[in-house]
Amino acid sequence: MKLLLMVCFCCFFQQQVSSQSNLVRSTTGASGASKEITNGGNTYLIQQSVGQPSVTGTIGNGDYIFRQGFIQPNVLSQITEKNIPLNLQLSLYPNPFEEQISLVFNEDIKGDIHITVYNILGAQMYSKKHQSSQHVDVKLGWLSSGEYILKTIANQKQFISKIIKK
DSSP string for 83-103? TS-S---EEEE-SSBSSEEEE
Q: Return left, alpha or beta for 65; rule: phi > 0 is left, psi -120 to 50 is alpha, else beta.
A: beta
pLDDT, one tens digit for every residue, the chain (166 residues): 666 656 555 555 455 444 443 333 333 444 456 677 788 888 776 665 555 555 545 555 555 555 555 555 567 778 888 899 999 999 999 999 999 999 999 999 999 999 999 998 889 999 999 999 999 999 999 999 999 999 999 999 999 999 999 9
Residue 19 forms part of a structural domain: no
Domain interval for residue 52: 28-71
- Of 54, 71, 88, which residue sits at a domain end? 71
Same domain? For 64 and 91 the reply is: no
In a domain, 17, yes or no: no
Whether the bond into 85 is cis, omega within 30 of 0 = no
Q: Which of 71, 100, 131 is the last residue of a domain?
A: 71
- Whether residue 136 sits in one domain with residue 96: yes
89 and 56 within one domain: no
Predicted local confidence at residue 15, as pLDDT: 52
Are residues 105 and 56 part of one domain? no
Residue 148 lies in a domain: yes
pTM over 0.75: no
**Domain CATH code at residue 131:** 2.60.40.3080
Q: Are residues 120 and 89 in the same domain?
A: yes
**If you write DSSP's letter for every residue of 32-77 in order, what string do you get?**
-EEEEEEETTEEEEEEE-TT--S-EEEEE-SS-EEEES-----HHH
Domain co-membership, 86 together with 146 = yes
Measuring CA to CA, which residue among 72, 76, 24, 22 is closest to residue 48? Answer: 72
